[in-house]
Chain A
């Protein structure tokens, strides 16, 4: 597949350019999830308190109804805005490594080397995909480290990653 020649080298270029930015975003999401788990568990220790908090009309409009009152479900519900943020970051990352490269003329510099016609797009998608997988794994780990159930934590991590991949906003995965 000669149109993809050089994709690996371009992935390396993307990671070289974005290593700090990607690491910061991933750490940011891990911190949000672990701090949500810690603080929400402390402030709303009982099922009744969580249900009462979630029945607020504003929250219902934003995040929908609480699907279950366990701490995991409560955290996943409250973190319902994160998939949008991850989706946007994924979108901007791909744009940054495709369209922006074209507009600045750097794409031409690369396009004249031994690089296939679709290698640029392939590399941008592969790098974003990889970063999202790392995000899923680390977010799941940080939730598990707060004593949330492993399956649900992993599901939530994958939800974020999926949102990062297709801008998919799937909010109501119950974490049980």
Chain B
């Protein structure tokens, strides 16, 4: 399988701030890749380097087989970008902007443009100044998705969209882009979106890659929550490896268990006698929160409590 994007040990500093501190990112051709990280983690900086808008201080980046900085113009024929915060020209209508960006990119599929306008329920005749945040976002999305390119760089593309439009965006990516086999790099902090769309995920924090892999691989690193009503006291459960946060109350137990230790824990429960059992699959959110907090001082009471819950 070929790679659409490969970035290795990217470093970018702005004065004393290290926005990127050895970031690695690999996106395979044809996949929808989730790019996750808290605010200020360096997602946008990475995308700007990939677009050749910024120059990396150190490290290497390859995009569609070219150098993002030196081959920017030729590479831009093959990609489309949606920024997280879209500003439009106040005097230009949405339709004019879509056509302008299409012209500048060198190609727009008229049929898909019409389909997207309908799907996103966007009126292209309104002027830029009359659009809400969500509608400005839609203009950039329609322009990017309707273009004839092989790579889409989407920086928090659904910020400002209402839930209905978020769903429309997900459907479009799942139906259209997957069928066309386009590569998508989707930066986001909406986990449900990433879980619904992406095959592989890269999680970054403070300019560094902390986790990368398929959703299944990442889920393996997380824990399943079990709530069970037992016939007797759960003696010895707390001593099992991989069992965390055990709480017992009136014959009910609640605990989190590492995916690898799930089998042993369930065997132990059925030995005691199970009356009812609820198991919650590991969510990406837990993994996400765990990474977000590691190494961060719990400076407020709230942070401290959340950190405890996560452990």
Contact = CB atoms under 8 A, between A and B. Distances in A.
Contact of B106 (A16, A109, A114): A114
A104 B89 CA distance: 9
A49 interface: no
B104 A9 contact: yes
B87 interface: yes
B291 interface: no
Interface in A102-158: 104-106, 108-117
Nearest to B96: A16
Interface residues of A, number: 21
B311 to A, nearest CB: 40
B83 A105 contact: yes
A80 B202 CA distance: 64
B86 interface: yes
9 contacts: A6-B73, A9-B103, A9-B104, A16-B96, A105-B83, A112-B79, A114-B73, A114-B105, A115-B104
Nearest to B83: A108
B83 A116 contact: no
Contacts, number: 60
Prevailing SS type, chain B contact patch: mixed
A3 B76 CA distance: 13
Scoring A2, A5, A9, A108 by chain B CB atoms within 10 A of each residue's CB, the highest score goes to A108
Contacts of B140: 109
A114 B89 CA distance: 19
B166 to A, nearest CB: 21
B131 interface: no
Contacts of B80: 112
A55 to B, nearest CB: 48
Contacts of A9: 100, 103-104
A112 B73 contact: no
B51 A105 contact: no
B139 to A, nearest CB: 10
Contacts of B92: 16-17
B86 A109 contact: yes
B169 interface: no
A13 interface: yes
Contact of B89 (A5, A106, A111, A115): A106
Scoring B53, B76, B83, B153 by chain A CB atoms within 10 A of each residue's CB, the highest score goes to B76
A79 B103 CA distance: 43
Contacts of B254: none
Interface string A1-30: 011011001000100110000000000000
Nearest to B69: A117
Prevailing SS type, chain A contact patch: helix
Contacts of A104: 87
Given A6-B104, A9-B103, A108-B83, A114 B88 contact: no
Contacts of A112: 51, 53, 76, 79-81, 83, 153
B91 interface: yes
Contacts of B81: 109, 112
A6 B51 CA distance: 16
Contact of B77 (A13, A105, A114): A114
A105 B92 CA distance: 16
B76 A13 contact: no
Contacts of A105: 83, 85-87
B87 A113 contact: no
A109 B51 CA distance: 11
A3 B73 CA distance: 8
B101 interface: yes
Contacts of B153: 112
A113 B83 contact: no
A16 B96 CA distance: 10
B300 to A, nearest CB: 32
Contacts of A106: 87-89
Nearest to A10: B104
A91 to B, nearest CB: 21
B104 A110 contact: yes
Contacts of B105: 113-114
Given A9-B103, A106-B88, A109-B101, A114 B83 contact: no
